Structure 1
């Protein structure tokens, strides 16, 4: 695992490998607890292994401070028809509470911005819960702008099954 140096000498990043699946699931559960959504986590190590490392549907960067995992970013490529180029969509960014305020999240987002440019992507974007004022303030201070004129729509569970059935002849 090749480590990526950062402006903080104690902080290194690395792309996750299949051995990190338990760590990734642990971070996902910690994030869900913070977001008061623990009951919605149905991911398993097997599902993550398949999605991240066999099908390669998303990528994960692990942040390590003094060689200890302290956070992660999970992202994937999307596509902008208006730009005619891919983008990077940050699905989850999580930093352990004791490491917040040390610059880890900011440096991780800066690295994702650099990666976005290196991959010739047109944008880096993510969603944030409306009640999460500390994160909203953090993102605004980085120059991120909320897309207030857009509403996210989601189809899951039974509604997804029902919609898919409408395609059947």
Structure 2
């Protein structure tokens, strides 16, 4: 990895690349069968509705990792934060500092935008990532449990 990794913000023409990174991440997590996103959906939500942003980390001009993130809001802090939905570095580029560089870039973006925090979820089985996050000073939110309503349950609730 170069001393100062290069980053670039995703553009509309990067949608196929974004989807490819999402699929690679899902395959790593053993969840590829859960990916229903397609290029049209990603383009609509990321670029038309501007509900998420994507940055790439580059090695010699080649995209080797990505992060997809969006703003959330903390009522306690009274300000926005950045929620990191996905961070992925291609296998052959891991353990070279790209993951840390992405998180540092996101921290820089958060501070530049006046955000109060940067947060993300990590799968419980992913010990290498957990160890990595802890080494950076990230703190697990062990007092919180994530709840989700989706799919047919979400539709049923909306129709009640």
Report the TM-score when normalising by structure 1.
Answer: 0.92
Q: Does 1:101 align with 2:71?
A: no
Contact 2:15/2:39, CA 8 A, preserved across alignment: yes
Distance 1:72 1:55 in 2: 20
Distance 1:67 1:86 in 2: 32
Contact 2:2/2:59, CA 8 A, preserved across alignment: no
Secondary structure class of the residue paired with 1:51 = helix
Question: For 1:138, which of 124, 132, 147 is the aligned residue?
Answer: 132
Cα drift, residue 64 of structure 1: 1.1
For structure 1, the residue ranges without an aligned partner over 5 or more in a row are 1-5
Q: Which runs of 4+ in 1 moved over 6 A?
A: none
Distance 1:92 1:56 in 2: 16
Q: CA RMSD in A?
A: 1.1
Q: Does 1:51 align with 2:39?
A: no
Residue 3 of structure 1: aligned partner: none
Distance 1:69 1:117 in 2: 24
Question: For 1:62, which of 56, 76, 81 is the aligned residue?
Answer: 56
Distance 1:7 1:162 in 2: 51
For structure 2, the residue ranges without an aligned partner over 5 or more in a row are none
Question: For 1:126, which of 120, 123, 132 is the aligned residue?
Answer: 120
Contact 2:10/2:54, CA 8 A, preserved across alignment: yes
